[in-house]
Structures are given as structure tokens and as C-alpha cells.
A and B are shown apart, each in its own frame.
Chain A
Amino acid sequence: MKSILSGNEAIARGAYEAGCLVASAYPGTPSTEILENTLQYDEIDSSWAPNEKVALEVAIGASFGGGRALCTMKHVGVNVAADPLFTLSYTGVRGGLVLVAADDPEMHSSQNEQDSRNYAKFAKVPMLEPSDSGECKEFTRLAFELSEQYDTPVMLRSSTRISHGKSVVELGERVTGLPMPKLEKNPAKLVMLPGNARVRHPLIEQSLLDLAAAAAHLPFNRMELRDTSIGIITAGICYQYVREVLPQASTLKLGLVHPLPHELIREFAAQVDVLYVIEELDPFIEEQIKAMGIAVIGKEIISLCGELTPGRLRSAFKLPQPDAAAAETLPGRPPNMCPGCPHRGVFFVLNQLKAYVTGDIGCYTLGFMPPLSAMDTCICMGASIGMATGVTKVVSAEEKKKVVAVIGDSTFLHTGINGLMDMVYNNAPATVIILDNSITAMTGRQDNPASGFTLMDAATHAVDIPLLCTALGVKHVRVINPLDLKETRTVIAEEMERPEPSVIITSKPCVLIKRDDVFTKGPVYAVDCDNCIGCRACLKIGCPAIEWRPAGEGSKKGKAYIDPLLCTGCDVCRQLCGFDAIGSAK
């Protein structure tokens, strides 16, 4: 049966067909939908972990127990999971283990565009790279087989265009007859103390050499000879752009990007006049080919930055571009916090208080955007708290009071807890605001250990965040209603003054939350045009439901208008109005 699947849906399908039993992940664009799709297969136990390191450890445990396990994450998630990964390559597996790393060239939804292929080489793990949804499914299945055959975890590298692109996939059946998981002790292989690890390391090196030799004959590395004046070595999505723009060129399409099939590369290079490597981001394949002593053109014509597109590839080969319309200068349309978002008032207050805000990763990172403009740093998941501690170590006593860390509930549980532990342990006088909206919002509203539900929708214990902060030793933990601006301002100002660590937790849910009983829309608000003097105070929160309507063309005067379809009745704008012009719509 044929179906149109996204790369992420196809990876989930591939895991199902491969007999995978356990799937664990922390959500992250563009990888999130893989676990949201393994969910449809009852045979797979799918779960969200609090972070990528735990997700990988869950998968390792399942593998050591004898079952096939899938672990997925975005590229920067691999940084978090790197610690277990680098030793997992030494132990190898029992049940096959596949780690999906979804890269984001062009940074459509990420803070950097690191190239995960380097991890495969660094951690000594084979890596497959599919170029469409059909290959996503096939390569996932194959990755499980290679994992067991070569006794190693296998990485599957996706990218935004692969994960979120859709193409036609032929569905297959789930394999049967895999061994039943059961406990089996094997300390020489699974206990990585120095004595055991010294024995394992050379085995891993040999295994990679064996795979590289075998890779010349494996079907996923494919030589396609056409016009031999140009030969292109490529992989993943870049293969599609090469076929689109240079349909006559000969190609060596690599499905396995680590280890590289040296023999096959030499054979291909010998048959073409000019050899190119077309790859996004780092010269990962190119450098290895150059180290083989083969002349090749790569990053001379393809940028180290951003994603490739057919147009960029045309430019690289100096091919004519279509005579398209010129781009118009138009107002931008950046993403914005939703109408009624509980984060909005907090950032409005932080801006007013002139706080120095160490930020974190989530919807609230949009607090950086004008008019809220109240975020001063953003590095990685969980960084806000440790950074706030660090800032207070160097600035003056007066400036220490300005330092506030903001972090979401899911990000706090991901890697923020350790930062808070350090802040208390080393007594840094900063304020931490945990923006608890009861969900992992930015990636599309996934449950987390504080939301009370699992990925499989079972009710479960919800972490008590105030109690957790107290247990870490925070003496001043205060819970506020972020939709009450006066309370929000008073509490934040008081805690900023305090020369000790303190935590403020906001208590209103995401407006997009899926469970009906968590968020309820209030009565819609409207502007009373008789009272509105056009002072624009309500525009300072940047709510998409509030619009400035000029009195006439080119007029500086005007009045505010509230879109009844967008308003959630959060009441924040009413509190900003000094003229009693905003209230419930009649």
C-alpha cells in the first residue's frame, strides 16, 4: 500500500516495521513528530523523557534488555545525549538501537546549525542519511539490522527538509521472529570500566573498518553513471537538488555517510572528469576524500552556512536563473506570542523594571521581540539559571539586583534543575522566573513530567515544581498569576531586591493547551471608543488581538480595536488602560 508520509512519519513507520519495542525522546523541531507517530503503533512503548540524555539512556536500557529501541532528538539534543552516546559505541547493543538526529540547516527553528555527521565520526558510530520519506522508512529498518549485525548503535541523520518534507512511501509489514527480550548478564561488554573499555575500543575500530569495506556493496550506496564529465558525490536532501538541477551529471549517492566506502569513492572518482562533493554545512565528506588524496571541489562553491536549495545550487554551477519577479519590500511577519499568552505580561513587567534577563529556549524566547524586548541572552536549554549565577559573580551589588533568569516548565525539568541547585549551593542573589504553562509549548504542546500526562495519554504524577524548588533549598518560592500585572510587578520587584536566590513561578496554562479543562477562554473584550483617547498604552504588550486604527489616512491619531475572534479575555490590556476604555464586550 502506498501512502504520503513525512520523513518523521516514515521513520516512525520504519521503526514499527523493524520490530522496535521502545521509543524515547525529548521533543525538538524538526524531530518531534517521530514519537508522535510511533504512538499510533501499540507494539511500541513511546514516551517523552525529561531530556535527550535520559531518552538515550532509556533506549540503551531497552536495548541491553534485548529489545529494539529508537531514540530521537534534534541536532542540539545530541549535545545533551553525547555523554552516554560516546560510551555506548564501546559497549555496543543487544537489541538494535537507532538514534535519530534531526539537523536544522538554515536554523528555521534552532539556535545553531551544527552538523550531526561530526558526532558519528567523533563517537565512532555508523550513520545513515536518507534523502526522502521512502528512504527514511527503509534506512530506519536497515539501521536496526546494521546495529545488531555490527554490534553498535546506528545514527540516522535527518534534516528539516527530510523530516518535514512528504513523499510517497510503500508500506511494509512488521518483522516477526525477533528474540524475546530477557535479562542476560554480560559485564565484560556492558560495564565500561577501564579494563573492559580497553578491550572494547579496538573492536569498535575494527567494526568500523569492516563496515566501510562492506559498504561498497551495500545497496544504500549507489553509483549512477550518466554524463561522466561531471561526477558528484552527495547524500541526503542534497542528492535531490543535484538530480533536479544537474540531471545529466553522474552521481555517487551515499546512504551511509559514516564510515565512508573508500573503494567505491575511488572507483567513482576514476570514472569521472571533474569530481564534486555537494553537501550542506560542514565539508564532512569532502575533507575525508581530500585526505584520500583525491582532488575534489566542494566548499569552494557551496556555502558552509545555511541550507542548500535548487536556486543556490544553480548559482554554485553558474547556471542561468529564471527571470523571476523581484522581491518586494513588505512589513515582516515574525512569529509572535499568541493572544492571551500568559508570558506576555511577565516580559512587559521585566521590560518596565529594566531587568537583565538571561533567557532560555521555548515560546517565551519571543519575549526578545519588540515591543516586549525583555530578553538579553539565549544560549541553550537550561542555560538561563547558570548564566544568571555567573553574571552575579562579576557585576556590582546594584547591578546584581537586575539579574533575572526566565525558563519554561519543560526546560526547567530538562536541564534547569541543576542550574538552580548550583544557584542555591553557591548562594547567587539572582531571581529565577519559571514560566509554568503546563506544557512543552513551542514544539507543539507535548506533555512533560509536570503536566500530569504521558505521551501515551495516561494520567501520571505531575512534578510539584514549587516543592521541588523548596527541596533544592530555595527559601523564597512564590507562585503568581501572570495575568495580574500589579501582582506580577510587585512580586518580581520584591524578589529582584532580595540579596538571595529566589524563584517565582507563574501559574497560568498555555492558551493552546489541548485538554479542555486546563484553559478556558474568558469573555471577549472590546474598546469603548468614547473613552479611548488613542494613547497607545495597550499596544505596548504586542497582543495580536489589538490593532491600532488611524483616524484617517496618514493620521497620527486613532483608536485601539480588539479583534473579537482572537481575544481570549486574558484581561492584561484592560489593566494597562488608564481611561476605562477596555472591558468585556457588551
Chain B
Amino acid sequence: MSNQITNILIVGVGGQGILLASEILSEAAMLAGFDVKKSEIHGMSQRGGSVVSHVRYGSEVFSPIVPEGEGDILFGFELMETVRSLPLLRPGGTVVANDLQISPPSVLMGLETYPERLSDRIKDRFADFLMVDGQKMAAEAGNAKAANTVLLGAVSKRLSITEEFWMNALEKMVPAKALVVNKLAFKLGRECL
């Protein structure tokens, strides 16, 4: 095991299942034998605000938050939130974004417009950029709500954690009745790249 720390940011909007995705990721990393730390803010953000979850793993992790500009992978559940968090990523980092736009209050009220050409703005700066239609693939797996697991599957391809640990983590973290759908959603995400 190298001393390299892997820095992952999972971002989106409160209610999208970001915390569950980061829990599964942390669990898989621990099962794979890594030291793991994870950090996010609860509370106010639960009410539809921006959410940023930090997950770091390696042989020994100190800070639970990813140092600014050192993120290896930015994993965005929503496009604008993905762009908002780009400054956390290192130059040459990877962006995996869900093809989904959720309007913030000012846009819903018609006071501002949802920014355009967001995927181009990501592409211009990060060559390693993947866009995933999480909702569509989750629906194929049997439940549109499992979009977070599809995305996790897509990200998993880029991480040094083997499939068996991912499956063990899913079994531990996902309620039994949703497990079959989530395992399928994870596989669809993992195979889409």
C-alpha cells in the first residue's frame, strides 16, 4: 500500500443521498484495509442547501477535510454544485458529474437564470471529465432513487478498491429490501465507463 492519500469530494444538494454515498465509499475503503476519514456539515444544509462531503483514504490520514486544491476526484450529483466545487480539485483531477440540474430558490422565483454551458466550463479545465445520466440508469436498475449508487459505481472504476469490498460495503450500508436494486445500479454505473 502506498502512502498516497486519495481525496474524494462528493457534492450536490441536500436530500440527494450524498451522505449515504460517502458512507458506502468510506466503508469500502476501510474494508480494503485503508485508514479513512470523512467530513461533512449537517444541520442547516439539510434544508435544500449545498452539501459537500469529503472522503480521504490511504495508509494514514490526518485532516478529515480535503485540503483546498488537492481533491483527486470530484463527484457531483448536480451540475451547478459540481462547478461550485471545482476550486477544491487539484489540476489534472477527475470530474464525474451527474447530468442533472436542480434550480436554487433564486432561479425558481425567476430572479436569476440557471447558468448555461456548465459542462463546457468543466471540460475546458478538466480533461478527465465524465458525464453520467444517473437517473436514467437507476431507472433501468429498477428505482430512479438509486441514482447515487449508479454514480458511486461510475466513480468506483477510478479507485483502487476492488469490487468485492464495494459489494460488502453495499450489503452493510443499504437496507435489505433495496439491496438488489442498488447492487444492480452500482454495476450499471461501474460498467458505463
Contacts and interface: CB of A to CB of B under 8 A. Distances in A.
B189 to A, nearest CB: 22
Interface in A327-345: 327-328, 330-338
B156 to A, nearest CB: 18
Contacts of B42: 29-30, 109, 164, 444
Contacts of B106: 331-332
Contacts of B50: 333
B109 A548 contact: yes
Nearest to A74: B43
B169 to A, nearest CB: 10
Interface string B31-42: 000011111111
Given A243-B62, A309-B65, A335 B45 contact: yes
A349 to B, nearest CB: 19
Contacts of B23: 4
A240 B68 contact: no
A558 interface: yes
Interface string B75-87: 0000011011011
B30 A322 contact: no
Contacts of A459: none
A452 interface: no
Given A29-B42, A335-B14, A335-B45, A325 B87 contact: yes
Contact of A161 (B26, B44, B48, B65): B65
Nearest to B29: A4
Nearest to B55: A166
Given A4-B30, A168-B30, A244 B48 contact: no
Given A4-B27, A547-B103, A311 B68 contact: yes
A309 B41 contact: no
Interface in A143-169: 160-161, 164-168
Contacts of B27: 4
Given A4-B36, A323-B91, A539 B110 contact: yes
A311 B67 contact: yes
Interface residues of B, number: 55
A328 B65 contact: no
A160 B27 CA distance: 21
Given A109-B41, A164-B40, A164-B41, A550 B65 contact: no
Interface string B52-66: 000000000111110
A542 B64 contact: no
Contacts of B89: 324-325
Interface string A475-518: 00000000000000000000000000000000000000000000
B136 interface: no
B180 to A, nearest CB: 24
B105 A336 contact: yes
Given A108-B41, A310-B65, A338-B47, A544 B105 contact: yes
A322 B93 CA distance: 12
Given A310-B63, A322-B70, A335-B45, A165 B87 contact: no
Contacts of B177: none
A167 B36 contact: yes
Interface string A514-553: 0000000000000000000000100100101011101000
A547 B108 contact: yes
Nearest to A365: B44
A442 interface: yes
A550 B87 CA distance: 32
A185 to B, nearest CB: 44
B90 A331 contact: no
A213 interface: no
A244 B109 contact: no
B165 interface: no
A337 B86 contact: no
B192 to A, nearest CB: 24
A546 B103 CA distance: 10
A132 B80 CA distance: 32
Nearest to A541: B109
Given A311-B67, A322-B91, A331-B107, A244 B62 contact: yes
A322 B62 contact: no
A291 interface: no
Contacts of A237: 64
Nearest to B109: A539
Contacts of B46: 335, 444
B38 A165 contact: yes
Contact of A108 (B13, B44, B69): B44
A176 to B, nearest CB: 29
Interface in B126-151: none
Sort A-B residue pairs by CB-CB distance and give the 7 closest, nearest first.
A548-B110, A322-B69, A324-B69, A109-B43, A311-B68, A310-B67, A29-B43
Interface of B: 13-14, 23, 26-27, 30, 35-50, 61-65, 67-70, 80-81, 83-84, 86-91, 103-110, 112-115, 121, 125
Interface of A: 2, 4, 29-30, 108-109, 132, 160-161, 164-168, 237, 240-241, 243-245, 309-311, 314, 321-328, 330-338, 363, 366, 369, 371, 442-444, 536, 539, 542, 544, 546-548, 550, 558
Given A166-B26, A331-B112, A333-B50, 17 more contacts: A2-B30, A4-B27, A108-B41, A161-B64, A165-B38, A166-B38, A167-B35, A243-B63, A321-B68, A323-B69, A324-B89, A325-B86, A333-B105, A334-B105, A335-B45, A336-B49, A369-B105
27 contacts: A29-B44, A132-B37, A165-B65, A166-B26, A167-B64, A168-B35, A241-B62, A310-B65, A310-B70, A323-B69, A324-B68, A324-B90, A325-B86, A325-B87, A325-B89, A332-B104, A332-B106, A335-B45, A336-B48, A338-B47, A444-B46, A544-B108, A546-B108, A547-B103, A547-B107, A547-B108, A558-B110
